[in-house]
Amino acid sequence: MIIKPKIRGFICVTAHPDGCAAHVQEWIKYVKSKGPIAGPKKVLVIGSSMGYGLASRVTAAFGSGAATIGVFFERPSEEGRPATPGWYNSIAFTQAARAAGLYAKNVMGDAFSDDIKAQVIAAIKADLGQVDLVVYSLASPRRTHPKTGVVHKNCIKPIGAPYTNKTVDTDKGIVSEVTIEPATEAEISDVVAVMGGEDWELWIQALSDAKVLAPGAQSVAYSYIGPEVTWAIYKNGTIGHAKDDLERAAKAIDAKLKANGNGRAFISVNKALVTQSSSAIPVVPLYISILYKIMKARGTHEGCIEQMQRLFATQLYNGNTAKFDEAGRVRVDDLEMIPAVQDAVRQIWPAVTTENLEAQTDIAGYRSEFLKLFGFGLAGVNYEAEVEPHVPMI
């Protein structure tokens, strides 16, 4: 099959196996180039196939030589249709890790379910004994609650009042105004159920009950805060509400892990980046396009892998003491949030139009990063050649 990008709204419905593998290789090469990290040795990554979770897994394996178990929910290929990119990423990662002599196991399925938690615990018991780091990096459109069976849906909406701002159709390059109606109370609690901290707590409880957390084990989950221009839709909206709940859970989990050989749990606030999840949030892609332009010009731009390598090497491990902000969070969004960068965003924001989008923003960079998520635009990959889309999970 010859596989080309097919973009539908904010998602690409095709993915290129060789391109995804090349993307994973780029990340491995980057982590290796930064030198070894005196870091974790047995790591569970929940949400390991894309974005920040995949970058965490690559960093743990190729920075610290860690054995990794990855949990993810991806769709395999079907007749005439490639698999989702996280499927190919996970295969490429696993092949590379095993070739380097590292243990790597994949558990494919719904991380919110009791069944997947049980499968992971069985794998840890059988192969690793215990884990010393649990990375929680899920971003999901829905969650079936394991106790009630209720399906909670994720929706990105403001709270309290409608929100109007500029947004960009990244595919068509059209800048327009969008108004998003506020969430209902039910929608707010649904988003908290999907993206809040309850499932992270259930994971840690299950792992702790099964005695598969090593003494001193740590856990980290990821959040975003961002600048005021996005607050109505992010920090003060439904997703921000869920992230507040994630912070509540971090404190509860931290207390539990402290009692287990002085471990800890915390939130790392990461930079805004092009991922499948962030591209679905209105307004945010325009902000990211402007941000990329400014940060690239300053030489401070980072992607998922640079962010996670820096988190592990300078905050969590290597003998460093993590620097926490006033709310107890680690901040690797520091370079995004410095005043000079945000002042520049504020200057550009009102001036952006469809006509000057290319000049005022890094929409070109946004598009190429977006295509890369699906394995397109990677150097050295022949996109005109036939490629086998049906690859079994390993």
**CA 234/CA 156 separation, integer angstroms:** 8
* 224 touches ligand NAD (CB under 6 A): yes
**CA 245/CA 239 separation, integer angstroms:** 10
Annotated active-site residue 234? The verdict is yes
Judge contact between 161 and 233, C-beta under 8 A: no
* 111 touches ligand NAD (CB under 6 A): yes
Residue with Cβ nearer ligand NAD (64 or 84)? 84
Question: Which residue from 106, 154, 167, 278 is in contact with ligand NAD, where contact means CB under 6 A?
Answer: 278
Q: Which residue is nearest to ligand NAD (CB)?
A: 51
By the 10 Å C-beta count (0-12 exposed, 13-18 middle, 19+ buried), 4 is classed as: exposed
Alpha-helical runs (H) found in the chain: 17-33, 51-64, 85-99, 114-123, 185-195, 198-209, 238-258, 284-298, 304-310, 334-337, 339-348, 357-360, 363-373
Question: Which residue from 30, 62, 72, 200 is in contact with ligand NAD, where contact means CB under 6 A?
Answer: 72
* 51 touches ligand NAD (CB under 6 A): yes
* 154 touches ligand NAD (CB under 6 A): no
Judge contact between 111 and 73, C-beta under 8 A: yes
- Contact range with ligand NAD by CB under 6 A, out of 11-19, 41-49, 336-344, 364-372: 41-49
**CA 195/CA 217 separation, integer angstroms:** 23
- Contact range with ligand NAD by CB under 6 A, out of 3-11, 31-39, 94-102, 137-145: 137-145
* 26 touches ligand NAD (CB under 6 A): no
* 49 touches ligand NAD (CB under 6 A): yes
Compute the C-alpha angle 331/59/320, nearest 5°: 50
Report the run of H or E that residue 71 belongs to, with start and end: strand 67-72
CA distances from 39 to 255, 287, 370 (A): 22, 34, 30
Lookup: tokens for 235: 């920090």
Residue 175: phi and psi, rounded to 5, are -95, 130
Encoded one letter per residue, x for contact with ligand NAD by CB under 6 A and - for no contact, window 52-71 reads: xx-----------------x
* 139 touches ligand NAD (CB under 6 A): yes
Residue 368 CB, shortest distance to ligand NAD, in Å, is: 16
Question: Which residue from 138, 313, 316, 371 is in contact with ligand NAD, where contact means CB under 6 A?
Answer: 138
* 287 touches ligand NAD (CB under 6 A): no
Q: Which long-range contacts (CB under 8 A, 24 or more apart) does 31-36 make?
A: 31/58, 31/59, 31/62, 31/63, 31/305, 31/309, 32/62, 34/63, 34/309, 34/313, 36/63, 36/64, 36/65
* 371 touches ligand NAD (CB under 6 A): no
Active-site residue (options: 30, 163, 234, 292): 234
> Residue 317 forms beta bridges with which residues?
none
Residue 86 CB, shortest distance to ligand NAD, in Å, is: 5
Residue with Cβ nearer ligand NAD (30 or 112)? 112
Residues that contact ligand NAD, how many (by CB under 6 A):
29
* 48 touches ligand NAD (CB under 6 A): yes
Residue 137 CB, shortest distance to ligand NAD, in Å, is: 4
Question: Residues 237 to 276: which contact ligand NAD by CB under 6 A?
Answer: 270, 272-273, 275-276
Return residues touching ligand NAD (CB under 6 A): 47-53, 71-74, 86, 110-112, 137-140, 222-224, 270, 272-273, 275-278
